[in-house]
Amino acid sequence: MKRTLAEALKSHALSELGIALVGIADASPLEGGGRLTAWLAEGAHGEMEYLARTAAVRRDPRLFLPGARSVIVVAVSYRDEATFDSTPLAGVVTVARYARRRDYHGVIRRRLVRLGRWLASQVPGCRWRVGVDTTPLAERELAQRAGLGWIGKNTCLINRRLGSELLLGALVTDTELACDPPATPHCGRCTACLDACPTAALVRPGFLDARRCISYLTIEHRSPFQSWEARAIGNHLAGCDICQQVCPFNRRASGSCDPALQPRAHLRAPTIDTLSQLDEVSWRQFAAGTPLRRLDFARFTRNLGAIRLSGEVHPARAPTRRQQAGDRLPSSSA
């Protein structure tokens, strides 16, 4: 019964809801809870205090939904024809690829709600709760446990067929479902992501010091930039794709972009001249309906000002690890 229901649920998610990947994990405490504790103790989360506040829930899905027994994890792809952009022209800034499109939170959440309702139609009285990115679930570890892929050395979830350009969501339920076998890692000896990180944020395989990460600095970091931080972001306005662009699994990935997440033309290659003309109202209009709306006007102007002052309006280089970063960034405590 458990396996029949699980297979029917996965079939419904794939064929009726447009999900690219779906797997099922049990809701027991996560093996990575200790790693999370150690990572937080290092202070590697920077100003993301919400991660520390919600650490207990992230370690144990049963705190997210009391009585939880299963976690259904789904993924959609945002890979498109611009996966490996050609060198931008001078004056063009970079927006991370996931942020160049419709906000995925609502897209995935609506599909998971429909999946939860379908489950309730099969198991009357069952309880379920949806989580997408902003909720305190360790989605990547749950996805690995559910067999969707493994957590690579760059800390991204990697699927052998679709690569790592994936957006995740989870449906936690008190219904017991047959689980999928967990995924095993396939990075092997490759260190392309560690070597390419221009700020040496990937301190060692699987350990990201967010305080040095361009994505963190441009989006999560709310304080004014120190001089090294302003230099570190290069031409990145929001987010960074370097550690994914160099990943061999992305170079040969076969997936295609979810139809609901097609890139928006004005976010492919915005220029400094265009962005410099935006006031707070027009910035909100520019970012409306996309993940960029997470970036408030104060951080937008901070980031743009750093790009302009640095004179580094070109694609961020991918030097040997620490080749450029080592002499200008504070050393990691990890």
80 is catalytic: no
Of the residues 60, 103, 133, 195, only one is catalytic, namely 133
**Residue 314 one-letter amino acid:** H
The CA distance from 236 to 299, in Å, is: 12
The CA distance from 66 to 293, in Å, is: 32
The CA distance from 127 to 65, in Å, is: 8
CA 206-207-208 angle, to 5 degrees, is 115
* One-character DSSP codes across 186-241: --TT--HHHHH-TT--EEETTEE-GGG-HHIIIII--SPPPHHHHHHTTTEEE---
The CA distance from 50 to 128, in Å, is: 23
Q: Please say whether the beta carbons of 134 and 293 come within 8 A.
A: no
User: Which of the residues are catalytic?
Assistant: 133
